[in-house]
Amino acid sequence: MVEITQNPLDMIFHALGDETRRRMLASLSQGERSVGELAEPFSMSLAAASKHIKVLEAAGLIRREIRGRTHLCRLDPGPLAGAHQWLSAYEHFWTGRLDVLERLLHAEDAAFPRQKPDGE
């Protein structure tokens, strides 16, 4: 079994690594939801939904508030900024690589102009 470290970025990517949790976050981006409302689209038990919610809470992506017997969850997008910052380094890498490719293709086009078929 793989153990999850307590590194916040690791916990965020672990939480985001599951489609159910990503869909729960998307739902929470529209407003707060109860645990039952989060579980409903997945036809899962409240216990199963609660396990997913605990992973999201541990990553700091959601906050849970108890009102009477109802547990309400709210999105906390702040920790996503760290994940975005980490990913942006790769965005810059790929943008640079694609810029180099574009320059090479333009140079190739200039060196070997296309010949138009007869009749054009």
Give how far Cα 110 sits from Cα of 23, 39, 105, Å.
Answer: 48, 58, 9
Q: Are residue 71 and residue 85 in the same domain, yes or no?
A: no
113 has a pLDDT exceeding 80: no
Residue 39: give its domain's CATH number. Answer: 1.10.10.10
- Spatial strand order in the sheet of 70-75: 33-34, 70-75, 62-67
Residues 66 and 102 in one domain: no
CA proximity to 55, closest of 87, 90, 19: 19
3 located within any domain:
no
Burial 49-77 (b: 16+ CB within 10 A, else e): bbebbebbbbbbbbeeeeeeeebebebee
Name which of 82, 74, 4 is nearest 32 in CA terms: 74
Residue 117 is assigned to a structural domain of this protein: no
Is pLDDT above 60 for 114?
yes
How many domains does the chain divide into? 2
The encoded tokens of residue 112 equal: 């070997």
Q: Which residue has the higher pLDDT, 43 or 68?
A: 68
Query: Does one domain contain both 22 and 71?
Result: yes
Q: Are residues 70 and 44 in the same domain?
A: yes
Look at residue 39 and tell me if it is in a domain: yes
Same structural domain, 60 and 105: no
Residues 43 and 69 in one domain: yes
Q: Which residues pair with 63 in a beta bridge?
A: 74
Tens-digit pLDDT profile for residues 17-36: 999 999 999 999 999 999 99
What's this model's pTM, rounded to 2 decimal places? 0.72
The pLDDT > 70 percentage for the chain reads 92
Regarding whether 54 and 85 lie in a shared domain, the answer is: no
Q: Is 79 helix (H, G, I), strand (E, B) or coil?
A: coil
